[in-house]
Amino acid sequence: MTSDSMNAILRGLAEQGAPPSHLRRIEALRQLCERSPGCVGLALVGSYAQQRGDRISDLDLVALFTGGDADSYLVQANEILCSEEWLSAYSGRVGVRGSFCKYVFLDFSSCELYALDLPTSLKLRRPYVRVWDPIGLLVTLETEGLPPRHEDFEAYQHGDDGLLWELFDCIKWLKRGRTELTKSYLRKLVAKLPPEESNEVVSPLSELESQPCLPMAPNKACAVVLRDSDAGPELLVFAHPGAGIQLVKGSIEPGEACAEAALRELWEEAGVAAATVTRDLGVWDSGFEGQVWSFSLCAPAAELPDAWEHHAADDGGHVFRFFWHPLATLPTSQWHPVFRGALGFIQRAVRPG
């Protein structure tokens, strides 16, 4: 694809009222495709492709890959997207051959990106825009038919993670005068919500260092360790040899304070012997096997290295590989599913305001 074609795409978006941030995003994601050997297609779909977009339309993109490179691309794409200030961000899997991420930004714009490995069952409904199509693949995925209607959208499809995105959709529909659609969708959403008021309870614990965890209170303690970098805060995580990327977390022993348990786990799992708890970040019901987590922000006495390995006694002994994860970056498919939710809790708990 020539630069003139890219200029035409940018011009078409601008004529529909797309914000400048959308123009930057689509150009950056196309350039990322050029640098990714396995990328064989990037298509713009949705309202902008249909020439009926406006200032608040989603930037909807689908990237296609050979060689199993979709997840790697999405990680790099997230680094691009999360470099701007965002209000909400979440990701998920698309079957076994792809992933997606969705962002709502503070400039009242939103972006939805799917990265899929071939072969895929995806079909592209015309019209769509060929943002990157070096081998002419996209035409082979075309199909006839009408695009999905907003009235047919499934509510609460991604649980609490997608709730802000869905409410943002409702705000956009109201802005466009589609009040009945908004009310209909909200009724579907309310019907899907679980009976509990919330799956997440944030409750500061008084006397952090000495208060024991009572029955029905947290039964897991998570040690949250952050450090500053030029790109923003980074979170200490580790790769478990058999269970994906995780945080330092373990069971709270009878009579043990939540903060004490967090520091003990930091020593047992990471080998960090000297640290203090500086802040209680709250409590989270993971929805997994009755686990209720307490999060303690921990400050090591000495600066920790960029990466290290530690032999932990868990489950007969494992070597955990520790490294730093950019706090604003979404988890990849390599993360253990429960810890993806825990990362989202931490991102919200430490965000100013």
Domain ranges within the chain, ordered by starting residue: 3-147, 150-193, 220-350
Q: Per-residue pLDDT for 335 more than 50?
A: yes
Query: Can you give the pLDDT at residue 196?
Result: 59
pLDDT in tens, 198-243: 444 444 444 444 444 444 478 999 999 999 998 889 999 999 887 8
Percent of the chain surpassing pLDDT 70: 92
Query: Can you give the pLDDT at residue 2?
Result: 46
Query: Can you give the pLDDT at residue 208?
Result: 42
Question: In Å, how far from its chain's centre is CA 127?
Answer: 29
CATH architecture of 220-350: Alpha-Beta Complex (3.90)
Helix (H) or strand (E) holding 260: helix 258-270
Q: Which of 289, 296, 225, 290 is nearest to 256 (CA)?
A: 296
Look at the domain 3-147 and name its fold.
Beta Polymerase; domain 2 (3.30.460)
Query: Can you give the pLDDT at residue 352?
Result: 64
Could you give the 3-state DSSP secondary structure of residue 11? helix
- Distance, in Å, from the CA atom of 343 to the CA atom of 348, rounded to the nearest integer, reads 9
**DSSP string for residues in 88-103:** EEEEEE-TTSEEEEEE
φ, ψ of residue 178 to 5 degrees: the values are: -95, 65
- Token pair for 196: 């509990």
Q: Which of 170, 166, 171 is nearest to 154 (CA)?
A: 166
